[in-house]
Amino acid sequence: MQWRSLVLGLLLLRLGLQALLALLPALAPGLCLRRRFPFPFPPPPALPGPPAVTTDNHPGSSHWGSLLRRGSLGGAAGDDDYERRYSGAFPPQLRARLRDAARGMFVFGYDSYMQHAFPRDELDPLHCCGRGPDLEDPSNLNINDVLGNYSLTLIDALDTLAVMGNSSEFQKAVKLVIDTVSFDKDSTVQVFEATIRVLGSLLSAHIIITDSRQPFGDMTIKDYDNELLHMAHDLAVRLLPAFENTKTGIPYPRVNLKKGVPPDSHNETCTAGAGSLLVEFGILSRLLGDSTFEWVARRAVKALWSLRSNNTGLLGNVVNIQTGHWVGKQSGLGAGSDSFYEYLLKSYILFGEREDLEMFNDAYRNIQNHLRRGREACNEGEGDPPLYVNVNMFTGQLMNTWIDSLQAFFPGLQVLIGDVEDAICLHAFYYAIWKRYGALPERYNWQLQAPDVPFYPLRPELVESTYLLYQATKNPFYLHVGMDILQSLEKYTKAKCGYATLHHVVEKTKEDRMESFFLSETCKYLYLLFDEENPLHQSGNKYMFTTEGHVVSVDERFRTSLWQDILPAAEHSAHKGKHSDLRALNFSSN
């Protein structure tokens, strides 16, 4: 009975506060009661026990919808403040200032790294020093999976320098990488992280240097002899042992760059880690004319795809590479799964292999059928707005009530397939969380409407989706979103030397780490959002971003297949597709 008394007391207190707020304008007519946030704070969860959970696609009770009563889905009636802020034109002068501010954010982080951390992998922005692998604790995978003692942040930032038009620093940085970086290191790194951060950046920079059009300005390197391509080849060869001695073709998660797969290596890997190598490995194969790298990456994707549930068509998030048994049965769009779906689509866009599109089509339909909750339409009808949840891959039943910040990439992926309406709605949910905390917590419990894991490591996914939605809609709302994100980063994460991870999004305490993706992705997408005249946006230029935000050109040389030695010509031609095939998906668009 105590909890009932507590709930009754909270209700009476809330009613009293509402009555007081209603009287305030009359009691103090000069008091300005402007709403600060376009989305209302959600109410506290019921106490003491967990509320009931419904798992159908049209829940009658609200779980997350209160976070979206207003804001991106439309201001409340008479909400002049919302309309004035978000619906009006965005002055060109303000946009130019924000573009310069985003560039300044990158410059401060990059210069701080070069001054205080290079040639080490990352910058510690609170103590103004560098960090490399944790040699004293090999089990510290949070550090050692990423840091390989190869100047990670410098490599990861190369194409951001080019996109921002800084040719002199780009040329200087490329020469530094060529002269000082070696992969002949006794470092055990995660194959996925080394691929997307290092291999992808080397390939992107090589493509920029050798582009005859030079759209970003003169990024050529005097006497350049394909050194970055050779370095990418060297790194990829060192990663190849991960694909050996595995019964399924799914690679080991980690490899030592000098010794190969460690003898004590685990046989378990995540779906995204093993299935998100095809873009970088495929580009390398097609630049070199050597099908080896694309073949092993494509074999891993097909192996994972063959293990999907016969009932739902879904994949889990952790698999045993020897037995093919699903160790983690959670199917979602966040950590462990996210970039697998992203690369099915992007591989098709880049290489034109129809089987990639067919796998993506099936995966997207299964996601819609089993992961999507809420009402059918984004902006009308009863029930909560759409949300994608974590379910059991075999049954489609809800497994938990949290989403993670990595899932904020998905609206951007939906933009690429033309499902803009659903992208708008899902993006609004993540932006509502950002407005509440000034950052995205690593995990957010949509049932309790509170962070489950409260740190924010400067992730780019919400910025990425914001940028792509603006490119698709040209709605100034997304410029306002970008301005909010930029201001929050400056206010809460700026440190003495760079920008720091938020240890707790509520308390705004900091951790002494600036991950390399802050410069390669977060700053890049913010800059591009406000830089209308960037060459990436000019007619005739076709580019795609890798999952690490690296720029690669979409052109015919990557659509020339290396599979003639594996597939007969007639069979292979049937596997080729056209970009127009994306429209056959026939999803809703704005």
Q: State how far the Cα of 198 lies from the Cα of 115, in Å rounded to an integer.
A: 21
Higher pLDDT, 15 or 490: 490
Q: What average pLDDT score do residues 185-208 get?
A: 98
265-276 pLDDT per residue, tens = 999 999 999 999
Q: Of the given ranges (243-247, 510-514, 519-523, 579-583), which has the lowest mean pLDDT? A: 579-583
535-569 pLDDT per residue, tens = 999 877 899 999 999 999 998 889 877 655 554 44
Q: What average pLDDT score do residues 371-383 get?
A: 87
Indicate the pLDDT class of residue 47, thresholds 50, 70 and 90.
very low
Is residue 577 classed as helix, strand or coil in its secondary structure? coil
Selection from 590, 586, 539, 579 nearest residue 345 by Cα: 579
Going by the annotation, the residues of the binding site are 547
Higher pLDDT, 575 or 227: 227
Q: Examine the residue annotation and report whether 193 is marked as an active-site residue of this protein.
A: yes
> Catalytic one among 294, 338, 353, 356?
338
pLDDT at 377: 84
Q: What average pLDDT score do residues 243-256 get?
A: 97
Percent of the chain with pLDDT over 70: 80
Contacts of 336 (CB under 8 A, 6+ apart): 270, 271, 272, 273, 317, 318, 328, 330
Going by the annotation, the residues of the binding site for Ca(2+) are 547
Q: Examine the residue annotation and report whether 280 is marked as an active-site residue of this protein.
A: no
Using alpha carbons, list the distances in angstroms from residue 223 to 167, 218, 435, 480: 16, 14, 49, 44
pLDDT at 37: 27
Indicate the pLDDT class of residue 84, thresholds 50, 70 and 90.
low
Cβ burial of 387 (10 Å; 0-12, 13-18, 19+) is buried
Indicate the pLDDT class of residue 81, thresholds 50, 70 and 90.
low
Q: What average pLDDT score do residues 492-500 get?
A: 98
Contact between residue 465 and residue 410 where contact means Cβ atoms under 8 Å apart: yes
Residue 186 confidence (pLDDT) above 50: yes
Q: What is the CA radius of gyration of the chain?
A: 24
Q: Which pTM value belongs to this model?
A: 0.85
Residue 376 confidence (pLDDT) above 60: yes
161-172 pLDDT per residue, tens = 999 999 999 999
Residue 429 confidence (pLDDT) above 50: yes
Q: Of the given ranges (35-44, 114-123, 530-539), which has the lowest mean pLDDT? A: 35-44
Residue 513 confidence (pLDDT) above 80: yes
Q: State how far the Cα of 86 lies from the Cα of 541, in Å rounded to an integer.
A: 30
**What is the average pLDDT score of the chain?**
86
Residue 571 confidence (pLDDT) above 90: no
pLDDT at 395: 97
Q: Examine the residue annotation and report whether 338 is marked as an active-site residue of this protein.
A: yes
Indicate the pLDDT class of residue 42, thresholds 50, 70 and 90.
very low
pLDDT at 174: 98
Q: Examine the residue annotation and report whether 442 is marked as an active-site residue of this protein.
A: yes
DSSP state of 522: I
> Catalytic one among 193, 356, 422, 521?
193
pLDDT at 63: 61
Higher pLDDT, 541 or 478: 478
Contact between residue 243 and residue 311 where contact means Cβ atoms under 8 Å apart: no
Q: Of the given ranges (69-83, 372-386, 402-416, 516-530), which has the lowest mean pLDDT? A: 69-83
Contacts of 21 (CB under 8 A, 6+ apart): 33
Residue 532 backbone dihedrals phi, psi, to 5 degrees: -60, -35
pLDDT at 408: 97
pLDDT at 222: 94
pLDDT at 447: 94
